[in-house]
Structure 1
Amino acid sequence: MATSATVDAVLPKYENRLVHAKSPYLLQHAHNPVDWYEWGTEAFEKARRENKPIFLSVGYSACHWCHVLAHESFEDEVMAKLMNDYFINIKVDREERPDVDRLYMTFLQATNGGGGWPMSVWLTPELNPIFAGTYFPPGRFRQVLVQIAATWEEEPERVKASGQHITEQLRAITDISSAPADNLNFYALSKKVYDRLATRYDPIHGGFGGAPKFPQVSQTTGFLVRYATVAEDANKAQLSEERDAENILKVLDAEHKSFEQSEAEGGGDRAAALTMVEHTLVQIYRGGIHDHVGGGVARYSVDERWHVPHFEKMLYDQAQLLSAAAELKPSAHRSPAAHRTLLALARSIIAYVSARLTAPTGGFYSAEDADSLPHPGAEKTREGAYYTWTAADVRRVLGADAELFAYAYGVKEDGNCDPRHDVQGELKGQNVLYIAHELQAVAEKFACTVAEVEERLGVCLQKLRDDREASRPRPQLDDKILAGWNGLMISGLARAVEVLEGAEAARALQLAERAAAFLRQNLYDEASGELRRSWREGPGPTGQADDYAFLVQGLLDLHEASGEEEYVLWAVRLQETLDERFFDAQGGGYFASAPDEHVIIRLKDAQDGAEPSAASVTLSNLHRLAHYAEDRHAEYADKARSVLSSNAQLLEAAPHALGAMVGAAIVARKGYRQFILTESPASSPASPLLSAIRARVMPNRVLIRVDPANPPRGLAKLNATLRSLVDGVEVEKTRPNVRVCQNFACGLPIEDVQELAEALDR
């Protein structure tokens, strides 16, 4: 029998400091036999004191391959001893520290041609990167550790010099000089982005490109909705680049007539853009990426037809898909079936977020994991265990309705997951539910009415939901509350208010307002205007640019949904703080990261990813704020030009990488239309004037709602047009009306709905 001294000699000694962390992702690694540190001074000082390289591991709590790396390598004591002996090991939650993640992801992408999570980066003690990768199988991970440790032991100064050189190169490639944005033809750029998306569009399954398939709302469907508003202008602009100057007027006249004819016939870029958006969202709803049993949408699909997802559910995906479905819905009258599907997608997301991602105090949690235990008492998690079904499961739960349900949702006896999309073999024999057959086809096969099929399937889904909740452990919840992602969700809910009715609309508005109240109470300092990034057992790190930008957007959307003045005033204050702390007065544009002495390069990253860039959303916010707080129009316009100038080179070279920014720019070029709606809040939320305004797809809309009994005097201090209205208001004589304004010039008040509809269509 081994003595305690023998055991001490065999087992590695370590002190895992993540037990004191608040991040759920870091806590998942709190019992690894690794000397983990959080990102901070303690780790950096030890690396310098002991002259050791740093191993930086970045991921997030719902990341499946992060778990795989942890189980294979970080839980292995032999591997951990190698890490502890030769490296200072630091864990970072990318969602808490996007600035750290963004910097080293730039290095990873520059050296590997791609990136992803988990992200594994080796640094010098001065935090300069020397090598990076993503997931490493155990043998390869051990090999990399040994090679880097050996090289460091032999030539530490050469490695340090190499790291310093890499940092200088990174600084050079990320330090893009400003160029005059006035020289850019944004209509022509938007046509290039549109043409690229049209080329990559999958007309069968929807979406863009092949497997793996991400929703990528900001750079695809979000851009296309905005492009649709200027499609004619964009076509003209591209022609102007391609045709001889002496023939341009003749050509434009012919193309204009052709465009008008194609639009009348339902064709043209505008119709095509909206069709691509509509089809993509419908296919996402129908696919296995959508959780038909419990609602919500997974992060991405590993195949081209949205069938087999990685099962993590992220708040930012729910938020952006909800916004997209709500924003497009009024145009879906071209297809009643699509109209119903988009509403169903919105309802599914709201139901899921309300049930699973809403804190009792009002904020929204970040994510649910991809992996979970297949049954109580199981020792090993499996990806998708909570979400997939065997044919036997379906028969057991549904009984006589099992055959009908299996036909409708694609259930097969031996499972419906293609082995090519199941790298680890965890889905063998399992079914990921998707809409395999339409209601009409099911009704015909089983000799019943469509209404009967719809009712029976609804009952089946409820039975499966009840069984799942009773018999399967839920995936782990990432219960930190992020300011920026909450801002995106507030936007989604506020926009959903416009397309839902009655109690559903009221519920969406309530969820949005409770989240805003939580953020204001817990993550915002009224005195300084500072926003914190996260909350979990207290406030987390300082806010980044996207926290401010996404929340400003959410608050402006929330004003349009609720009519409450306070949201606009808070948005104005947050923009002031964003300008103070992130605007680059020397080089122009906005930094993405807050100042931090340990982040060696402060980036201005305007490229869109799973979320739109902070710069793109800020550009849109500045244009909108110029109409809410019009006395500051010149200031906001200058900063908006600076955003474009600081990204002009990238916009010209690769506009598709900045789809959200191009979309915001073309909306501004078209010109915002300001609607000042004066009516009592006691009116129906679906009052005729408000409903008429909401019925159009109008990305260039700014809606200011004025209650004559309680006029927005705070906002009027920032808006000359409002001041003239508020000063002269006579409550008892004021009838509901709308003033339509463009370029800060307003027409006469409109009280008749038909007259307003005609004005909207001009």
Structure 2
Amino acid sequence: MSSNVNATGHGGSHHPNRLAKAKSPYLLQHAENPVDWYEWGPEAFEKAKREDKPIFLSVGYSACHWCHVLAHESFEDEVTAKLMNERYVNVKVDREERPDVDRLYMTFLQATSGGGGWPMSVWLTPDLHPFFAGTYFPKGQFRQALEKLANFWEEDRERLVESGKGIIEQLKSSSNASICSQVYKRLERLYDSVHGGFGGAPKFPSPSQTTHFLARLAALNIGDEKLKSEALKARDMAVQTMVKIYNGGIRDVVGGGFSRYSVDDHWHVPHFEKMLYDEAQLLSSALELAQLLPIDSVECKTLEAMANDIIIYVSRDLRNSEGAFYSAEDADSLPSSDSTIKKEGAFYVWTSAQLDELLGDNSDVFKFHYGVKSNGNCDPKHDVQGELKGQNVLYTAHTVEDTARKFGIPAEQVQVTLDQCLAHLKRYRDENRPRPHLDDKILTCWNGLMLSGLAKASEVLEGQAANALKLAEDSAAFIKKELYDEKTGELRRSYRQGPGPTGQADDYAFLIQGLLDLYEASGKEEYVTWAIRLQEKQDELFHDTEGGGYFASAPDPHILVRMKDAQDGAEPSAVSVTLYNLNRLAHFAEDRHGEYREKAQSILRSNSQLLEHAPFALATMVSAALTAQRGYRQFIVSGEASNSDTTRFLHAIRHTFVPSRVLIHLDPQRPPRELAKLNGTLRALMDDSANARPNVRLCENFACGLPIYDPKELKLA
């Protein structure tokens, strides 16, 4: 977005107002606004008392990009200026000239909204007591705030003066909070406090409907004393569920990866097929939840082990030679190379006698730890066809410490023994058992989900970081080469011996999300600019210009009705992920924020009935709306990627799960010139970045704070 100021910094061609006599460059930039501005001083305050009007105070500085945008959109607008002049006394302050004024009202802004920055907009009584404050307001919202607050001043002044917080709540929609509460309460009611998960058997991990939502609810509310206990409960329900999944038979203990679901209520006997979308979503959830825990806690280490387990499995068994990920492995397989009849789980299960034969002296330790029974550990009622009779599905029945106590040996030795046993069983299995059938088609949408998981892994997991980033970049490169048309901007849905049919909404949505995550992880602007281009194409093909929101399917003359399916299933709904994408893109390509936000709002409007009556079916959409309501936060990191100070900043930012994070890299060695064409804040900072020492600017609501030079000063929660 351009501020459209002329060479002198003035917009419009009005007779100069009082600010023409000012010395401050910032005030002079507003000297030709149609707003009847006053400088900070008695002339303005006496007028406010005499006419019994509230004061509108605007604070900024001359190099502030979003101050210029607010000026262009609102202070240069005749209708807005008329409203301001009739109902307020308007005061303009240069924060660099009057830091005392700035400091006083910034404290109020931060106390009442939880954030701060410039431009700062504050509404005051004639005796200078603040009653409402914000930063940058888009044009329509600014005028609405002016009107509402002026009406409140005339009709209910006492209450207005008493509580700025009350006004904030009236100006904010409360619907998202109540909808969030409904989703949370339903999950709390369904939660299995013994075995983790939500509801009874069969149990699906379903991250899009459960842990994804709970992680965001926890991260966004954990810093609020009123909401903290609920936030911690949300976190702990999600963590407990993921830990139980990891320790259950739903995990392939020998080879890694997770089955689609468990037929019982304690994650023991799985339906053995493995799906890429499950691996991807579990990877993301494990990493997000790990970041919400103390780094040395058992649960954090378990979740990081879970993430590593998934990365090892998908990179070894679900990846083609060019780096793209296959779709799935079947549940059924032949028990041995000379068998002719496939059985479910044949590749994965063991008899007690087999383990004795293969593991020798270590067998007893292994069998105790992994819950092996001499007659098999699968309950017959969960084995309808009798295929698992006498077989054992391995699961973590006891901790390493329990096993160590049982056999009177050190825990370290137990872990070494278990690792050796697992490696031996894997070799045996690979050499003697035919693998389940591999579904080797490559889906754009599921690769997009895996991009997100791997990008997060590259940020969070120290040991796996470089490997995870390369895996993600290889997958993106394959999609760009084989499933993307550079000329038209269109995606194909699948690849197997060549590209398949045209892409659907989830192909665009999940890939855009993955590319934004990959940009934040790598700092390579090619990923964010590709995501922007894909969003343009998704809007063109899927946006409903009449009814709002997005269709799920591509245009096709043979499809009689184009459906809009917002409900989450095994995967998040495409439109809910699109809601996240649009809100993030409004901050990456902020010059287009109005366009992105309008489309985002149209998603909520077009799904309002379902959100009202069955919000738990749209958990991803609800968490996307909550994240947007709390406000996205740009972290603009300036500094060479190789500089250790830059690395420290990035490490600090990535150490905490911040759902509303938008991480922008400003590396003078490879300046993001294409992104800067769509991001005014970035343009304003580009010239200064070459010689500056590494720093971070934190921007909220399109208002940026001063540069931070010490990672310890970063406020992430």
TM over 0.5: yes
Look up the equivalent residue of 2:433 and give its one-letter code: R
- 1:51-80 Cα distance to aligned partner (Å, 9 max, x none): xxxxxxxxxxxxxxxxxxxxxxxxxxxxxx
| Cα distance, 1:663–1:693 mapped onto 2, change above 3 Å | same
- Following superposition, the deviation at residue 183 of structure 1 comes to 6.9
Look up the equivalent residue of 1:754 and give its one-letter code: K
Is the aligned partner of 1:319 residue 2:280? yes
Structure 1 stretches (4+) deviating beyond 6 angstroms? none
Is the aligned partner of 1:447 residue 2:408? yes
- 1:282-317 Cα distance to aligned partner (Å, 9 max, x none): 111000000110000000000100000000000000
8 Å CA contact retained: 1:314, 1:366: yes
Look up the equivalent residue of 2:197 and give its one-letter code: G
1:437 aligned to which of 373, 390, 398? 398
1:310 aligned to which of 271, 293, 298? 271
- Following superposition, the deviation at residue 507 of structure 1 comes to 0.2
8 Å CA contact retained: 1:409, 1:437: yes
2:580 aligned to which of 620, 626, 629? 620
Is the aligned partner of 1:473 residue 2:413? no
Look up the equivalent residue of 2:706 and give its one-letter code: L
Q: TM-score, normalised by structure 1?
A: 0.70
- 1:247-273 Cα distance to aligned partner (Å, 9 max, x none): xxxxxxxxx87x37xx4xxxx101001
Partner residue in 2 for 1:491: 452
1:751 aligned to which of 706, 709, 712? 709
C-alpha distance in 1, partners of 2:295/2:199? 26
C-alpha distance in 1, partners of 2:473/2:559? 35
2:651 aligned to which of 683, 691, 697? 691
Deviates more, 1:687-696 or 1:207-216: 687-696
| Cα distance, 1:697–1:722 mapped onto 2, change above 3 Å | same
Q: Secondary structure at the match of 1:331?
A: coil
Partner residue in 1 for 2:210: 220
Is the aligned partner of 1:583 residue 2:566? no
Look up the equivalent residue of 2:242 and give its one-letter code: L
8 Å CA contact retained: 2:274, 2:329: yes
8 Å CA contact retained: 1:287, 1:434: yes
Is the aligned partner of 1:629 residue 2:619? no
Alignment of 1:14-413 (within 5 A): 185-231=175-221, 259=226, 263=228, 268-333=229-294, 336-413=297-374
| Cα distance, 1:278–1:684 mapped onto 2, change above 3 Å | farther
Partner residue in 2 for 1:456: 417
- 1:203-239 Cα distance to aligned partner (Å, 9 max, x none): 1111100000001101100001111234489xxxxxx
2:687 aligned to which of 722, 727, 733? 727
C-alpha distance in 2, partners of 1:223/1:664? 9
8 Å CA contact retained: 1:417, 1:427: yes
8 Å CA contact retained: 1:532, 1:543: yes
| Cα distance, 1:369–1:697 mapped onto 2, change above 3 Å | same
8 Å CA contact retained: 2:457, 2:468: yes
Look up the equivalent residue of 2:311 and give its one-letter code: I
C-alpha distance in 1, partners of 2:692/2:441? 46
C-alpha distance in 1, partners of 2:590/2:317? 40
8 Å CA contact retained: 2:295, 2:301: no
Partner residue in 2 for 1:509: 469
Look up the equivalent residue of 1:751 and give its one-letter code: Y
Deviates more, 1:514-523 or 1:671-680: 671-680
Look up the equivalent residue of 1:203 and give its one-letter code: S
Q: Which runs of 5+ in 1 are unaligned?
A: 1-181, 234-255
Q: Which runs of 5+ in 2 are unaligned?
A: 1-171
8 Å CA contact retained: 1:278, 1:332: no
- Following superposition, the deviation at residue 598 of structure 1 comes to 2.5
C-alpha distance in 2, partners of 1:232/1:349? 28
Partner residue in 2 for 1:424: 385
Is the aligned partner of 1:542 residue 2:473? no
Partner residue in 1 for 2:670: 710
Q: Secondary structure at the match of 1:498?
A: helix
- Number of residue pairs aligned between Structure 1 and Structure 2: 547
- Following superposition, the deviation at residue 334 of structure 1 comes to 7.5
Look up the equivalent residue of 2:503 and give its one-letter code: G
Q: Secondary structure at the match of 1:703?
A: strand
- Following superposition, the deviation at residue 686 of structure 1 comes to 8.7
Could you say what the CA RMSD is over the residues aligned between the two structures, in angstroms?
1.6
C-alpha distance in 1, partners of 2:502/2:315? 27
C-alpha distance in 2, partners of 1:381/1:677? 55
Q: Secondary structure at the match of 1:674?
A: strand
8 Å CA contact retained: 1:491, 1:554: yes
C-alpha distance in 1, partners of 2:278/2:667? 34
Look up the equivalent residue of 1:384 and give its one-letter code: G
- Following superposition, the deviation at residue 643 of structure 1 comes to 0.4
C-alpha distance in 2, partners of 1:232/1:734? 35
Partner residue in 2 for 1:663: 623
1:647 aligned to which of 596, 607, 616? 607
| Cα distance, 1:358–1:445 mapped onto 2, change above 3 Å | same
C-alpha distance in 2, partners of 1:597/1:269? 49
Look up the equivalent residue of 2:365 and give its one-letter code: L
Q: Which has the larger radius of gyration?
A: 2
Partner residue in 1 for 2:134: none
- 1:109-162 Cα distance to aligned partner (Å, 9 max, x none): xxxxxxxxxxxxxxxxxxxxxxxxxxxxxxxxxxxxxxxxxxxxxxxxxxxxxx
C-alpha distance in 2, partners of 1:184/1:366? 41
- Following superposition, the deviation at residue 423 of structure 1 comes to 1.0
8 Å CA contact retained: 2:576, 2:620: yes
C-alpha distance in 2, partners of 1:334/1:349? 20
C-alpha distance in 2, partners of 1:648/1:335? 42
C-alpha distance in 2, partners of 1:188/1:350? 37
8 Å CA contact retained: 1:296, 1:313: yes
Look up the equivalent residue of 1:627 and give its one-letter code: H
Look up the equivalent residue of 2:623 and give its one-letter code: G
8 Å CA contact retained: 1:326, 1:498: no
Partner residue in 2 for 1:737: 695
C-alpha distance in 1, partners of 2:446/2:187? 26
Partner residue in 1 for 2:554: 594
C-alpha distance in 2, partners of 1:686/1:353? 31
| Cα distance, 1:478–1:581 mapped onto 2, change above 3 Å | same
| Cα distance, 1:684–1:457 mapped onto 2, change above 3 Å | farther
Look up the equivalent residue of 2:287 and give its one-letter code: A
C-alpha distance in 2, partners of 1:606/1:567? 26
8 Å CA contact retained: 1:708, 1:734: no
Q: Secondary structure at the match of 2:530?
A: helix
C-alpha distance in 1, partners of 2:611/2:433? 48
8 Å CA contact retained: 2:220, 2:659: no
- Following superposition, the deviation at residue 685 of structure 1 comes to 10
8 Å CA contact retained: 1:487, 1:551: yes
8 Å CA contact retained: 1:184, 1:648: no
